[in-house]
Structure 1
Amino acid sequence: MLISITTGDIALITVEKSDPLSPDSQYLIEKLSAELAAITGDNGKSHFAPASMDEERSLWALAKDQQGKATGCGAIRPLTDNIAELKRMFSDRSAPGIGDALLVFLETAAQRMGYGAIWLATRRVNQRAIHFYEKNGYARIANYGPYKDREETVCFSKAL
């Protein structure tokens, strides 16, 4: 599956399945980790390992601009049989629509894999992320799993 955001005949953003260990992926993971550390004080690495993308019904995706430069990343992995967890969503914000394209790609992939919902967690201080998920139809839910008693965390869900 490939998603392409175009203006006229020009593809501005493409999103496709990728390898989380590729140089482009690792570069974006490090950029995300640095940005999260600056916003929240935690780089977020303790809740994601690239090796988890080897699990069945997991997917790592990269967004690229028209020159082929990696501009965003994101992943889904199984939380339960029916719920995918969204992880490591990041856009370098070099062009409008990167995050939206990634999210559409991952939601579509999750639905095709048989998931009925996507859950995610972010920090309350990360207002940009909270606004993005709310704008895209995600609703707040009770904190789950490792985030259960973490007051600094807010969790979201979206039915697919």
Structure 2
Amino acid sequence: MTENISIKITNPNNEKVAAIIEELSANLYLRFGSDGRNSFADWEHNNPKFVFVVAEINNEIVGCGAIRPIKENIGEVKRMYSKYPRKRIGQTILSFLEQQAIEIGYTKLVLETRVKNQEATKFYLNQNYKVIPNYGKYTDRPEAICFEKSLNQNL
């Protein structure tokens, strides 16, 4: 039996979501020596091109994810996290964010993860993301791997 996952758009500064963001940061720091917070410091909650979501199962927040603009029609996926593996939480969050991205007017989503983060790399490849040359601040960072997905095929 699969549990019902609900996705809610919220403010990442909301105290109810602080615990899942803390858990994500601690998880990243433990595994890779960096918590990823700096990449999320310039969040604009009142800007409709920025979307932060949480996933809930039985009123428990079990995951999060976000998109923000990096160019007029290109969004960047940030802060993807699932508390429990293999429960389709990540896929549910990502599909919701992709749908939001299309509605916002993004034609492409990009993201970065660590080369060492093999679970994430495999996850994004399975979600039809393609490896691209590192972009922006990740350009000269060999520990980073970047992906993109064109959203046009979904229309």
TM-score surpassing 0.5? yes
TM-score scaled by structure 1?
0.89
Match of residue 84 from structure 2: 93
Measure the CA separation in 2 of the matches of 1:133 and 1:91.
Answer: 14
- The change in CA–CA distance for 1:90 and 1:152 in structure 2 (over 3 A counts) is same
CA RMSD of aligned residues (A): 1.6
Match of residue 19 from structure 1: 11
The farther-off stretch of 140-149 and 46-55 is 46-55
Match of residue 31 from structure 1: 23
The farther-off stretch of 55-64 and 149-158 is 55-64
Listed as ranges, the gaps of 5+ residues in structure 2 are: none
Contact 1:18/1:62 (CA < 8 Å) preserved in 2?
yes
Measure the CA separation in 1 of the matches of 2:31 and 2:80.
Answer: 15
Cα-to-partner distance string for 1:44-92 (whole Å, 9 max, x where unaligned): 1111126333334110101000x21111100000010110000000010
Please tell me whether residue 118 in structure 1 is matched to residue 130 in structure 2: no
Percent identity between the two aligned chains: 38
Aligned partner of 1:110: which letter?
A
Aligned partner of 2:12: which letter?
P
Measure the CA separation in 2 of the matches of 1:55 and 1:157.
Answer: 23
4+ residue runs of structure 1 moved beyond 6 angstroms?
none
Measure the CA separation in 2 of the matches of 1:94 and 1:40.
Answer: 18
Contact 1:55/1:77 (CA < 8 Å) preserved in 2?
no
Measure the CA separation in 2 of the matches of 1:25 and 1:119.
Answer: 24
Aligned residue for 1:28, secondary structure, equals helix
Match of residue 3 from structure 1: none
Aligned residue for 2:16, secondary structure, equals helix
State the 1:94 CA deviation. 6.4
Please tell me whether residue 53 in structure 1 is matched to residue 45 in structure 2: yes
TM-score scaled by structure 2?
0.91
